Amino acid sequence: MQALIDVILPVFLVIGAGYAAVWKGWFSESGVDGLMSFTQSFAIPCLLFRAIWTLELGPDFNPWLLVSFYTGSATGFTAGLLGARYLFKRDWEDSIAIGFCCLFANSVMIGLAMTERAYGPAALEANYVIVAVHSPFCYGIGITAMEIARAKGSPARALPAKVLKAMFRNALVIGIGLGVIANVTNIALPTPVTDALDMMIRAALPAALFGMGGVLCRYKPQGDFRVIAFICAISLILHPAITWTLGTITDLSTQAFRSAVLTAAMAPGINTYVFANMYGRARRVAASGVLIATALSVFTAWVWLSILP
């Protein structure tokens, strides 16, 4: 139990510090906006670029890692979409935004931090493989579904351009894409450049967690609480359960299995609210889903960590 406290508590104490700082007025909301802009647009893309650039999959890479994680992710989106539409009678565009909340786990800000705390930096290779695909996969599904729902008679030939334009305006996707190019072409960067990257990377996760706490302070639990509970159940229980089952069936290595299940068990990321806000759909539900699921994940992550090998 003490080991679990040592893993989980530091991560959520940093988030709580950001929350308390904004709540008490010690840190301004404009400061939070600046901090999140720095982390989301610069520091985390640098982290992803560096990780993908230096990633060596090697002969031991098991593609079932991605199948296990993303089957759970896609199932979560489908369940969220259909549940919002047919159980809660939301229109299609709201339903897609709610489905996106069940699709996009917080794989970077909390997923990386918690895996590193639990199993050490050497355990992050599988996380980076998941993260390399995460934003393109999730935004690809979400944007494509939303643009189809909004097309309403527009020519289908315009859809791919809209999707690609929206995806490649995302700094996380750009950082991942540049990392892939650098990896494939085996680019060598000068030492001062890599040292500068490392300085940015060291700031990325602590600043992102603190800023996330500040952002969460703005959100008030609003919207349909049945939908929010539905999002929490899919994100915190269904997704990791599917990943666990497939990872067991496909005999993932212990390290890959831990990374996949723990990442799948994360609450919806801030990007779910960004997506909902981008389209002006289900914003209160998305914001509340991030807030409540993040709070609940203190306990659910504890459970998953305690039963992981």
Phi, psi of 72, rounded to the nearest 5 degrees: -60, -40
Considering the entire predicted model, what is its pTM? 0.82
Mean pLDDT of 266-274: 86
- For the stretch 90-106, pLDDT in tens is 999 999 999 999 999 99
Question: Taking 60 as the threshold, does the pLDDT of residue 1 lie above it?
Answer: no
| Pair of tokens at residue 308 | 């992981």
Query: Could you say which architecture CATH assigns to the domain 2-307?
Result: Up-down Bundle (1.20)
Residue whose pair of structure tokens reads 């189809």 in the numeric block: 148
- For the stretch 218-230, pLDDT in tens is 777 777 899 999 9
Q: How many CA atoms lie within 13 A of 212 on its CB side?
A: 29
251: three-class secondary structure by DSSP: coil
Q: What is the pLDDT of residue 154?
A: 62
User: How many angstroms separate the CA atoms of 138 and 160, rounded?
Assistant: 15
User: How many angstroms separate the CA atoms of 263 and 69, rounded?
Assistant: 8
| Pair of tokens at residue 188 | 């060598």
Q: Which amino acid is at 301?
A: A
Per DSSP, 235 falls in state I
For residue 12, give every residue at least 6 positions away whose Cβ sits within 8 Å of its Cβ, in sequence order, or none: 298
What's the mean pLDDT when you consider all of the chain? 87
For residue 165, CA distances in Å to 49, 94, 156, 160, 297 come to 20, 22, 15, 8, 33
Phi, psi of 268, rounded to the nearest 5 degrees: -55, 140
Mean pLDDT of 23-43: 89
Per DSSP, 219 falls in state -
152: three-class secondary structure by DSSP: coil
Q: What is the pLDDT of residue 264?
A: 96
pLDDT band for position 280 (50/70/90)?
confident
Mean pLDDT of 36-51: 87
Nearest to 69 by CA among 186, 308, 241: 241
Q: Are the CB atoms for 226 and 31 separated by under 8 Å?
A: no
Q: What is the pLDDT of residue 60?
A: 59
Residue bearing the bigger pLDDT, 274 or 178? 178
For residue 286, give every residue at least 6 positions away whose Cβ sits within 8 Å of its Cβ, in sequence order, or none: 97, 98, 100, 101, 268, 272, 273, 275, 276, 277
For residue 39, CA distances in Å to 171, 204, 206 come to 10, 6, 9
Question: Taking 60 as the threshold, does the pLDDT of residue 30 lie above it?
Answer: yes
Q: What is the pLDDT of residue 165?
A: 74
Q: Are the CB atoms for 78 and 242 separated by under 8 Å?
A: no
Residue whose pair of structure tokens reads 């590193």 in the numeric block: 116
Residue whose pair of structure tokens reads 């409540």 in the numeric block: 292
pLDDT band for position 308 (50/70/90)?
very high
